[in-house]
């Protein structure tokens, strides 16, 4: 299937590894030009080379997306380099595991900043460019914990469900504008990434490349009527209805 996004420009945060990198590679395979962000310049450069070796086009910007000023800088860098911005894949590393009743104010605030507010800021900065173009796709990578809370991921549960509530409302706002812009959430379960190794993941895990293909579809011209959805990609791990 031709996803209809050849030549589009995408910003992918936390795009140097894991599911962000897998999504970037899937988009590059569809002819999307990429701006990748991440904290580690060396890891980012390796990701850029991988995209280029696969026939894609990518630039990188090292920085901490949880810095409130960084989303604006990232969007500006993408627009300056490529002349516009059509797709945003908002992604950030998950907070550490732990019980809900053990979390401090500081830990909760850090999780909400990283896994809720960074996405909101990215959307806010990208929307003016998408509105000018009359087209845009926003995809927030979160977790299947928005559907079924995990007892060991209290911080993730809290921040990501908050983002889900905001995103669902934002989707209605965009639809009412007839803007040509959609916003969706993709919710991974266990995949074979470094993050899962940090959480001592075991059992059946998904292939990050398969996840990337689903994310790329949500960013496509073909997904024009998918808006405000939370697409769970977990191999059936979630039991919640």
Question: Domain holding 116: CATH number?
Answer: 3.40.50.720
Alpha carbon 67 to its chain centroid, in Å, reads 17
Residue 39 in domain: yes
pLDDT at 193: 74
pLDDT at 196: 66
Residue 130 in domain: yes
> Which residue has better confidence, 54 or 7?
7
Q: What is the DSSP track for 43-107?
A: HHHHHHHHHHHTT-EEEEEE--TTSTTHHHHHHHHHHHHHS---EEEE--PPPPPB-GGG--HHH
The two structure tokens encoding residue 73: 């800088």
145 by DSSP, 3-state: which?
A: helix
Task: Decide if pLDDT at 199 tops 60.
Answer: no
Confidence label for 26 from pLDDT (cuts 50, 70 and 90): very high
> Which residue has better confidence, 63 or 200?
63
Residue 2 in domain: no
pLDDT at 204: 75
Which residue range(s) make up the domain with 192? 9-233
Residue 155 in domain: yes
Residue 1 in domain: no
Residue 241 in domain: no
Task: Decide if pLDDT at 232 tops 90.
Answer: yes
Q: How far apart are CA 33 and CA 182, in angstroms?
A: 19
pLDDT digits (tens, 9 = 90+) for 140-194: 999 999 999 999 899 999 999 999 999 999 999 999 999 999 999 999 988 877 7
Task: Decide if pLDDT at 197 tops 70.
Answer: no
Give the residue among 202, 191, 138, 224 at the shortest CA–CA distance from 22: 191
pLDDT at 50: 94
Averaged pLDDT, 55-78: 97
Q: What angle do CA 73, 139, 63 make, to 5 degrees?
A: 30
User: What predicted TM-score, i.e. pTM, was given to this entire model?
Assistant: 0.94
Which secondary structure element, helix H or strand E, spans residue 24, and what is its range? helix 18-29
Residue 200 in domain: yes
Confidence label for 195 from pLDDT (cuts 50, 70 and 90): low
pLDDT digits (tens, 9 = 90+) for 30-57: 999 999 999 999 999 999 999 999 899 9
Confidence label for 118 from pLDDT (cuts 50, 70 and 90): very high
Pair 123, 90: CB distance under 8 Å: yes
Query: CA separation (Å) from 69 to 106, 127, 160, 226?
Result: 20, 16, 21, 30
Domain count across the chain: 1
Residue 198 in domain: yes
Task: Decide if pLDDT at 217 tops 60.
Answer: yes
């Amino acid at each position: 299937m031709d996803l209809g996004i050849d030549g589009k420009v995408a910003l992918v945060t936390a795009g140097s590894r894991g599911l962000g990198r897998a999504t970037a590679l899937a988009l590059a395979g569809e002819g999307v030009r990429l701006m990748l962000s991440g904290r580690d310049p060396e890891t980012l450069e390796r990701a850029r080379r991988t995209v280029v070796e696969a026939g894609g086009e990518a630039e990188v910007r090292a920085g901490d997306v949880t810095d409130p000023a960084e989303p604006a800088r990232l969007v500006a860098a993408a627009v300056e380099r490529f002349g516009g911005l059509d797709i945003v894949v908002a992604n950030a590393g998950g907070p550490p595991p732990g019980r809900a009743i053990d979390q401090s104010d500081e830990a909760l605030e850090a999780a909400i900043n990283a896994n809720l507010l960074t996405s909101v800021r990215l959307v806010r900065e990208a929307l003016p460019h998408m509105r000018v173009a009359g087209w845009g796709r926003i995809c927030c990578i979160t977790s299947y914990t928005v559907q079924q809370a995990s007892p060991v991921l209290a911080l993730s549960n809290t921040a990501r469900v908050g983002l889900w509530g905001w995103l669902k409302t934002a989707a209605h706002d965009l639809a009412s504008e007839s803007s040509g812009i959609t916003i969706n959430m993709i919710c991974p379960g266990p995949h074979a990434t470094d993050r899962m190794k940090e959480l001592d993941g075991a059992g059946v895990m998904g292939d990050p490349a398969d996840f990337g293909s689903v994310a790329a579809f949500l960013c496509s011209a073909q997904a024009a009527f998918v808006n405000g959805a939370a697409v769970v990609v977990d191999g059936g791990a979630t039991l919640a209805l």
